[in-house]
Structure formats: structure tokens, C-alpha cells
Amino acid sequence: MPFLSKVYTSLQNELASNEVCIIAVSKTKPVEDLMDAYTAGVRDFGENYVQELVDKQSVLPTDIRWHFIGHLQTNKVKYIAPFVHLIQGVDSEKLLLEINKQGKKINRKINCLLQIYIAKEESKFGMNEDELKHVISILPTLEFVNITGLMGMASFSDNQTLIKQEFEYLHQLFNGIKQLSIPNFSPHILSMGMSADYKIAVECGSNMIRIGSMLFGERNYTR
């Protein structure tokens, strides 16, 4: 299924008053679909797999902002460090230290979001509040990262009340750290919401949503 440019346009209109950035999540989709999206005006793409991201980046226009939204393994940071616009899922101190190390090697400050665990599920990655506070405390020593905000994924659930509680919790956490004045820390992005729950997320203060299936159709997970 090709990129749904009409859906993209109506989503832009729907969110225009909220100043929400839409990330088109293109994982598993062929470059032709991404090029259709590019032609429709999309510049922010989200990918989950390092090799796939590197392959796509090498053949697509250079003004695309690539967001890495998956679970990033430390040994793969080096492949995306030179070009990635934002690493959204920084879920451990170890990963952040590696990103800083790779940034230093190429003298590039790398933008990151800290991923916070908000779901009532074992399967989701992310830091808790204590880990967040610890990581913030070591930021002055990490010159080659810039923490520009927080990211979270709600429970995979039909329970709207639960999802809302999870997003509201993250919003509060975000508000609590937003004013801190710390080197390498400039939090202004709150990335939460996907195809199924972006409306709730925006209600709860999200200003960046990551939309895949709604724009590109259902994914074939077997790849």
C-alpha cells in the first residue's frame, strides 16, 4: 500500500493548532513508499532497525531528518551517529555513554530523548524516575549528547483511562524537569502517541507523535 498523503494532510490540519511534530514511522516499508511521503512533504522519518535505517539513508534525500525510535544496541550506535537527527529511545545510562563516546569520535553533538517506562507491561523499555534523575545528574560530563526531551510508550491496551494516566504521568515528569538548567540538557520535546493513541497523547501534552500504520498501512512483520 502506498503512502496515504490525504491522511497525512488531514492529520497536519487536525494538529495544526497544537504545534505537534509528526514523525512518519516507515520501518519495514520500501524506499518507494518513503519517497512518496517525501514528495508529499514529509521530512521527519522514524525507523527501528539500524541496518534498515542506514540502507535507506544512503539512497534518500539528504534533507530528511532521521529519528531512531527503536531499541538501540550499544554496538550499533556508531553506524547511525554521523547522521541521525534524534535518537528517541535512550533507555539506559550505558547507551547514553556510548552515544557520547561515538559523538566525541566524530565531533558531533547527538540529540537524544530519554525513554521513560510508563506502561504496565514487562515488554517495554525505558528508565524509571530514579534512573532519569541519575542520568540528568551526569549530563554535565557528557559533552557530545544533547537531551532534548522525553519519550514514552503507553500500554498496548483498549483501556483509554489507563493510557491517559500513563501519558499524564509522563507529562508531569516532563514539566518537572523542563525548567532545570543543566549543560547538555534542553528539554522541549515530549514524544508520545502512535496511530492508535495519538489523540489521547496530544490531549495529555505531547508535541511529537510517531505515526506508522495510519500513514503507510499495516506492516508485514515477517519482513
Ligand X SMILES: *Cc1c(COP(=O)(O)O)cnc(C)c1O
21 binds ligand X (CB under 6 A): no
- Candidates 40, 165, 195, 217; binder of ligand X (CB under 6 A) is 195
Q: Between 77 and 119, name the residue whose CB sits nearer to ligand X.
A: 119
| Part in contact with ligand X (CB under 6 A); list of ranges 52-60, 74-82, 129-137, 210-218 | 210-218
Q: How far is CA 96 from CA 92, 100, 125, 136, 145, in A?
A: 6, 6, 14, 11, 8
Pairing between strand 21-25 and 44-47? Answer: parallel
- Candidates 69, 192, 200, 201; binder of ligand X (CB under 6 A) is 69
4 binds ligand X (CB under 6 A): no
Min dist CB 180 to ligand X, Å, is: 25
Number of residues binding to ligand X, judged by CB under 6 A: 14
Instruction: Give me the residue label for grid cell 490540519.
Output: 13
Cα–Cα nearest to 126, from 154, 100, 147, 146: 154
25 binds ligand X (CB under 6 A): yes
157 binds ligand X (CB under 6 A): no
- Candidates 52, 131, 213, 217; binder of ligand X (CB under 6 A) is 213
How far is Cα 103 from Cα 99, in angstroms, rounded to an integer? Answer: 6
Positive or negative: CA dihedral 19, 190, 169, 73: positive
Min dist CB 183 to ligand X, Å, is: 28
Work out the angle at residue 109's Cα, subtended by the Cα atoms of residues 111 and 75, and round it to the nearest 5 degrees. 75
Residues at the site binding ligand X, with contacts judged by CB under 6 A: 25, 27, 48, 69-70, 153, 194-196, 210-214
